[in-house]
Amino acid sequence: MAHTNAPASPWHTGQSAIDDPMSPYFLHHADNPGLTLVSQALTGDNYTSCNRAMRIALSVKNKLGFIDGSIEKPSNTGSNLLNYLTRNNNIVVSWILNSVSKEISASILFAESAAEIWQDLKERFQQSNGPRVFQLKRDLINLRQEQDSVSVYFTKLKTLWEELTSFRPMCNCGKCTCEGVKKLDEYFHMDYTMAFLMGLNDSLAQVRSQILLIDPIPPINRVFSLIVQEERQRTLGSQRA
């Protein structure tokens, strides 16, 4: 395991490290090497979504420190803490191996640390922002409902939009007091709604026009609900006929 410049771990004693549920060294009885943390394995093209899913899962397990290098190797190589670190590292490595395709798994099998594997996958599969943003925007422009139900079409749109959102700069300083940030956020969500409405089939043009007349435009979930209601009414009407 490589040394980092991160502050030393607060879990100095071996016993407290493994017994305290708040410690990154704590392992629940269900935390075994065969555990699969994400439903979709990394194949390469889906790096962004898999990375996000894995980070969420590892955060729940309190193991993010083993992939971002924030947990230091104990200076005392004979301490119990080193054993606990090695054990946890190997558990996280196993979880990563279970979350990638067989081909990718073979290429990272002999890496020593979870952080090393994580960085390797990032360097290999993370696309630079420009090409990926271009691809997402192109897919959004070309996305149409066609033979899909409104729910299926919306799910496809939402998947593209949320990944695109992950590239969007966000203000997290907590010091912004003007209305500018709020207005930008509202405009961004209006774009989301417009993208959804634009891809709908022409058979829903009437309800789409009615929604566009509402000022301000309702939130995307409300618009989705209105469109789904119209779709259901049409389905019921055709069944009665």
Domain boundary among 91, 125, 159: 125
Domains of the chain: total: 2
Residues 118 and 55 in one domain: yes
* Residue 69: predicted pLDDT: 86
Q: Could you tell me if 164 and 133 are in contact, meaning their C-beta atoms sit under 8 angstroms apart?
A: yes
In a domain, 74, yes or no: yes
| The two structure tokens encoding residue 58 | 């590892």
How far, in Å, CA of 11 to CA of 152, rounded? 48
Residues 115 and 198 in one domain: no
Residues 219 and 169 in one domain: yes
* Residue 169: predicted pLDDT: 73
In a domain, 53, yes or no: yes
* Residue 241: predicted pLDDT: 59
Angle at 136 between CA 108 and CA 209, to 5 degrees: 150
Mean pLDDT by 10 residues, the chain (241 residues): 45 62 89 93 88 94 93 74 90 96 94 94 84 91 96 96 84 68 85 96 95 94 96 82 59
How far, in Å, CA of 103 to CA of 122, rounded? 16
* Residue 196: predicted pLDDT: 97
| The two structure tokens encoding residue 84 | 């606990």
* Residue 100: predicted pLDDT: 96
How far, in Å, CA of 147 to CA of 149, rounded? 7
Q: Could you tell me if 88 and 1 are in contact, meaning their C-beta atoms sit under 8 angstroms apart?
A: no
pTM over 0.85: no
* Residue 144: predicted pLDDT: 97
In a domain, 33, yes or no: yes
Angle at 54 between CA 154 and CA 77, to 5 degrees: 170
Domain that holds residue 191: 129-240
Q: Phi/psi at 31 (nearest 5 deg)?
A: -85, 85
Residues 134 and 121 in one domain: no
